[in-house]
Amino acid sequence: MNREEAAEFTRKLVARAETIVFPKTPKTINNIPVFYFEAVLSALRGPQPDPITGLVMCGCKGKPEYHSSKYGYVASVKMHAECPDCHAKTAEYYAFLYSDDALEVLQRRVMDAWNTMRGYKK
C-alpha cells in the first residue's frame, strides 16, 4: 500500500465512521477515536504551503522567506528562499526584468525549488 492508497483507505474509514451517529458518544473505529485517524490523514498529506508565500514550512519548523537583490549591470534580479532558523536555502535563481511578470515567474521558480526540496507534491 503506497501513501496515496493509505490516505484513501483512511479517508473511507473516517467517512464511514461519520455516518454512524451515537448521541454523546465519541466516534470511534474499532474503539480508536476518529481524531487519531484524522491525525494520520494529516501526516499523510504532509506539510502544506503557506497561503501568502506559497512556501511549505522548513523541516526545522522555521518559516522560509524570499531573499532578492539586484544583480549585475542590467535590470536583473537574483532570488532564493531561506529558512531564518536553520539557514537551509535553495540555489540562487536569476532573471532579467524584461516583462511585468518576470519577478513573479522568478518567485514561482524559487517557490517550486523550495517546496520540492521539502518534499511537497502538488
Contacting positions for Zn ion (CB under 5 A) = 58, 60, 62, 83, 85-86, 88
Q: Shortest Cβ distance from residue 88 to Zn ion (Å)? A: 5
Residue type at 104? Answer: E
CB 116 within 8 A of CB 122: no
CB 115 within 8 A of CB 56: yes
**Which residue, 32 or 86, has its beta carbon nearer to Zn ion?**
86
Spatial distance between the Cα atoms of 98 and 50, rounded to a whole number of angstroms: 28
Q: Shortest Cβ distance from residue 41 to Zn ion (Å)? A: 25
Q: Shortest Cβ distance from residue 113 to Zn ion (Å)? A: 15
